[in-house]
Structure 1
Amino acid sequence: MTKTYSRRSFLKGILSLSFAGLLTAAGGYSYARFIEPSLLDITPITFTHPKIPAGFNGLKIVQFSDTHLSEFYPLSRLEKIVAKINDLGPDLLIFTGDLIDKPNQYRAYKQVAPVLRTLSASVGKFAIYGNHDHGGYGTDIYKDIMEASGFNLLKNEVKRITLRDGSMIQIAGIDDLMLGLPNYEKTLGKLNEGLFSILLAHEPDAAIQSKHYPVDLQLSGHSHGGQIQLPFYGPLITPPFASVYTEGMYDVNQMKVYVNRGLGMTRLPFRFFCKPEITVFTLQKGKN
C-alpha cells in the first residue's frame, strides 16, 4: 500500500510540475494563479422531488465548500464570500468541509468564527468534517470554530428540520472518509424513508455506499472539480474518493449527488478552467 501511494504521489508531482511549466511557457500563469481563483460561479439548481413537503416548497439551500484558508485564500476573501452568501438569502446553509488548509499552522484561526458567525440562514446552518479539518491536528480547532459560528456540526448524525407548519425533512452528515471514522449504517440506517433526506458527505465517492440507503440528495465537495482542467480532457488529477464523481450533478440509483467545485485551493495555488463555486438549490415539490 505504501509503495502504491508513493508512486501515485510521484506521478501527481510530475503532472503538477509539468502543468506549471506549461502555464509559464504559454503565458497563462498569471491567469491561473491570480485571476481565476478570484472569480466565482453561482450555480442555481431547482431541485424537484415528490417527497419534498409543501412547507419546504421554494426553500433555498446554499452550499459552499473547501475554502482552504491559507496565504493563498486569505480571511479577506472569506469575508467577501460571506457577504455574497448573505446577499443570496439562504434559508438553509450548508458547508461541506475543508475550512482551513493546515489548521495547526494557521495563525489567524481565532479570527475565522467572527466572520462565519455573520452568515445568516433562517432555517439553520449545517457543516461536516473534511479531511483537512481532521488533518494537522485540526479536529478540535474546526469543531470550536464551527460551533462558535452557529453551525450544527454533523458527525455520523441525523437531524430533523421542522418548520412552523409542522412539515419536516431530515439532514444527515457522515464523518470524513479519509481521516475520520464514517459510519454509514449508524447514520443512514436511522433515516425515515418517508421523509425527504439530504446527506452531507465531504468526499463524493461516499455515494458508492450511501446509494444503498434512502438518501434523496447527497451534497459533497472535496474534488475542487480537479482544480486544474484541460479543454477536451477534463481534470488532470482528482483526490482520493473523488475519482467516480468529480463535479456537478449525478444520478446514482434513487438519489442525486451534487459535487461542488469549492472555493479555495490546495497543493498548488492554481485554478484553470475550474472556477470557484457556490451552489444555490431551490426545493420544489413534484416529480423528479
Structure 2
Amino acid sequence: MEITNLQKKLIILLSILVGIMVSITFSLYRAIYVNPNNLNVIYQTLQDEAIPTSLNDVSILYFTDLEFGEFQNQERTENLFNTIYDLAPDVVIFGGDLYDSSDQINDENNQLLINYLSKIDAPLGKFAVLGEKDQLDETMLNTVNNIYSNSQFEILSDINVKIGNQSTASIRLIGLSSQPNFEQALSNLSSDEYNLLISHYPDTLVNETLASYPISLALAGHSHGTQVTYPIIGGYRNIENATQLNRSISKNLSFDYIISSGVGCTNVNVRLLSTPEIYYFNLHH
C-alpha cells in the first residue's frame, strides 16, 4: 500500500516527538541519578602582567557551596576531596556554605570535615569566606569557625592578604563578608598587583563601589546555578542575592568574574545543566 504525503508528514512528526521525549527522559534521568554525583574540574590559566614571575605556575583551587548534609553525603564528599588531593594546589579557596543545615551538625560530622579539610596540603595558604548558611545561627557560626580553625583555614571577612612564593612579590586575595565593608576589605589595593576578589554572593559584585577599585578577577557561588537550568529560559527559581548576576544573567562589569555552580546540592537532589564543579587556576606572568 502506498504511503500518502500526509502519512509521511505524520510519521516524520511522530518521529520528532518521540525523539524529543526520549531526549527529555534521558536528560531527566541524568539530572536525578547521574549529574549530582559528577564533578567537573575546570582548568584555566590566569595570565596577567601584574602576576609576578615568582608566582608562575602557582596553582589556586576554588570550590564553593559544599552543603554537607542530606544530599552531599560522605561518598560524594570523599570523591570531592580525593580530587582536590590529587590536584595538589598551592592555594585553596572555599567560597562558603560548609553545611547544608544545622540538622547535620554533630561531633562525628564535624570531625569528618576537619579531617578532610586538614588533609589538604596547600603550602601557600588555605582560605574561606562565609556563606549565609555558615551564619544561620550562633551554633552554626561557632561550629564553622571551629572547623576552619582546626583545619588551618583562614577566614577572610572584609580583609585582604598577600600571596607570595618565597618572594616579596605577590598577588592579593580579598575576601568579602555577607554585608561587606568595602573600604576596609579593599584597602591598600594597587593596580600594579593582581587582585583576586572572593564573594559568596554574586549580587555583591554589581555594587558600584567595586568599579572604583583595581580588581583583576572576582569569584562567587551561592546560587548553585539554581541546580536546574532550563535551556533558553534559565534557572527554575530565583535565588536571593543572585538575582542580578548568576549563571543565566551576565553583566558588563569593570572586572572579569566567574560564578561557580558549586559542588553540593540543596533543596533538591537534582542537577540539570549545572554540574558540580571546582576551578583549578594556573598563574602566569
Question: Same fold judged by TM-score > 0.5?
Answer: yes
Contact 2:99–2:133 at 8 Å: present in 1 too? Answer: yes
Return the alpha-carbon distance in structure 2 between the equivalents of residues 264 and 211 of structure 1: 31
Alignment pair present for 1:242 and 2:242: yes
Return the alpha-carbon distance in structure 2 between the equivalents of residues 206 and 283 of structure 1: 25
2:277 corresponds in structure 1 to 277
Return the alpha-carbon distance in structure 2 between the equivalents of residues 252 and 55 of structure 1: 31
2:176 to 169, 174, 177: 174
Task: Give the superposition deviation at 1:237.
Answer: 2.1
Secondary structure, aligned partner of 1:211: helix
Task: Give the superposition deviation at 1:84.
Answer: 0.3
Contact 1:68–1:101 at 8 Å: present in 2 too? Answer: yes
2:13 corresponds in structure 1 to none
**Where in structure 2 are the equivalents of 1:111-122 lying within 5 Å?**
111-122=112-123
Return the alpha-carbon distance in structure 1 between the equivalents of residues 186 and 228 of structure 2: 33
Secondary structure, aligned partner of 1:283: strand
Secondary structure, aligned partner of 2:212: coil
**Where in structure 2 are the equivalents of 1:143-162 lying within 5 Å?**
143-162=145-164
AA partner of residue 111 (structure 2): K
1:65 corresponds in structure 2 to 64
Over 3 Å counting, the alpha-carbon distance change for 1:233 and 1:249 in structure 2 is: closer
Return the alpha-carbon distance in structure 1 between the equivalents of residues 149 and 243 of structure 2: 31
Over 3 Å counting, the alpha-carbon distance change for 1:230 and 1:249 in structure 2 is: closer
| 1:147-167 CA distance string (max 9 Å, x none) | 211111111111112221322
Contact 2:54–2:169 at 8 Å: present in 1 too? Answer: yes
Return the alpha-carbon distance in structure 2 between the equivalents of residues 56 and 156 of structure 1: 24
Return the alpha-carbon distance in structure 2 between the equivalents of residues 94 and 249 of structure 1: 24
Report the identity percentage: 28
Return the alpha-carbon distance in structure 2 between the equivalents of residues 102 and 133 of structure 1: 9
2:260 corresponds in structure 1 to 260
Over 3 Å counting, the alpha-carbon distance change for 1:269 and 1:205 in structure 2 is: same
Return the alpha-carbon distance in structure 1 between the equivalents of residues 66 and 267 of structure 2: 13
1:79 corresponds in structure 2 to 78
2:50 corresponds in structure 1 to 51
Return the alpha-carbon distance in structure 1 between the equivalents of residues 148 and 211 of structure 2: 28
1:139 corresponds in structure 2 to 141
Return the alpha-carbon distance in structure 2 between the equivalents of residues 233 and 40 of structure 1: 24
| RMSD between superposed Cα atoms in Å | 2.3
Contact 1:248–1:258 at 8 Å: present in 2 too? Answer: no
* Structure 2: segments with no counterpart, 5+ residues: 1-20
Contact 1:146–1:153 at 8 Å: present in 2 too? Answer: yes
* Structure 1: segments with no counterpart, 5+ residues: 1-21
2:14 corresponds in structure 1 to none
Return the alpha-carbon distance in structure 2 between the equivalents of residues 136 and 32 of structure 1: 32
Task: Give the superposition deviation at 1:112.
Answer: 1.2
1:226 corresponds in structure 2 to 226
Task: Give the superposition deviation at 1:238.
Answer: 3.8
Return the alpha-carbon distance in structure 1 between the equivalents of residues 242 and 161 of structure 2: 26
Return the alpha-carbon distance in structure 1 between the equivalents of residues 164 and 144 of structure 2: 27
1:100 corresponds in structure 2 to 99
In the comparison of the two structures, how many residue pairs are matched? 258
AA partner of residue 151 (structure 1): F
AA partner of residue 93 (structure 2): I
Task: Give the superposition deviation at 1:60.
Answer: 1.2
Secondary structure, aligned partner of 2:34: helix
TM norm structure 2? 0.83
TM norm structure 1? 0.82
Task: Give the superposition deviation at 1:133.
Answer: 0.7
Contact 1:249–1:256 at 8 Å: present in 2 too? Answer: no
Contact 1:95–1:127 at 8 Å: present in 2 too? Answer: yes
Task: Give the superposition deviation at 1:273.
Answer: 1.7
Larger radius of gyration, structure 1 or 2? 2
